[in-house]
């Protein structure tokens, strides 16, 4: 059977969130982004994310995910009743919220001090 749709010529560069990245400078020229350009964009996004102050909302989200994983582990691996797993997860949720926020705040202030001292680009040194 003949193909009705035209095949795409370039690979779409989408993110894990499902959004398709728009190219600014290279879109008008019609050429795809090079690996180095993609790395630069990713580096800039990472630095923007690392240099935003922590929020309680982010801490609550992280705590909810961690408590959910904790409940699943307690129920499946330790073979405890689901009600007990849910109760333990609720306790852990309450503990995880301030723990997550204050850990994020500590790391954020540490990165800000490094940035002010001129300690490089502010990236973690163990990445490379």
Per-residue pLDDT of the chain (128 residues; tens, 9 = 90+): 666 777 666 666 677 777 776 655 544 555 667 889 889 999 999 988 888 999 999 999 999 999 999 999 999 999 999 999 999 999 999 999 999 999 999 999 999 999 899 875 555 555 44
Residue 28 domain-assigned (yes or no): no
Alpha-carbon distance values, 94 to 2, 104, 107 (Å): 60, 16, 21
Q: What is the pTM of this model?
A: 0.63
Contact predicate 47/122, CB 8 Å? yes
Q: How many Å apart are CA 97 and CA 113, to the nearest integer? A: 24
Residue 17 domain-assigned (yes or no): no
Domain count, the chain: 1
Residue 108 domain-assigned (yes or no): yes
Question: Which structural domain range is residue 75 located in?
Answer: 55-117
Q: How many Å apart are CA 19 and CA 12, to the nearest integer? A: 10
Residue 71 domain-assigned (yes or no): yes
Residue 72 domain-assigned (yes or no): yes
Judged by phi (left if over 0) then psi (alpha if -120 to 50, else beta), residue 31 lies in beta
């Amino acid at each position: 059977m003949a193909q009705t749709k035209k095949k795409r010529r370039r690979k779409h560069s989408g993110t894990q969130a499902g959004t398709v990245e728009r190219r600014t400078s290279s879109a008008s020229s019609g050429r795809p982004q090079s690996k180095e350009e993609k790395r630069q964009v990713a580096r800039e996004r990472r630095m923007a994310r690392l240099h935003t102050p922590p929020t309680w909302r982010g801490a609550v989200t992280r705590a909810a995910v961690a408590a959910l994983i904790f409940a699943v582990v307690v129920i499946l691996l330790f073979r405890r009743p689901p009600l007990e797993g849910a109760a333990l997860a609720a306790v852990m949720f309450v503990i995880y919220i301030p723990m997550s926020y204050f850990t994020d705040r500590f790391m954020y202030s540490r990165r800000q001090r490094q940035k002010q001292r001129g300690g490089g680009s502010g990236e973690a040194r163990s990445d490379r």
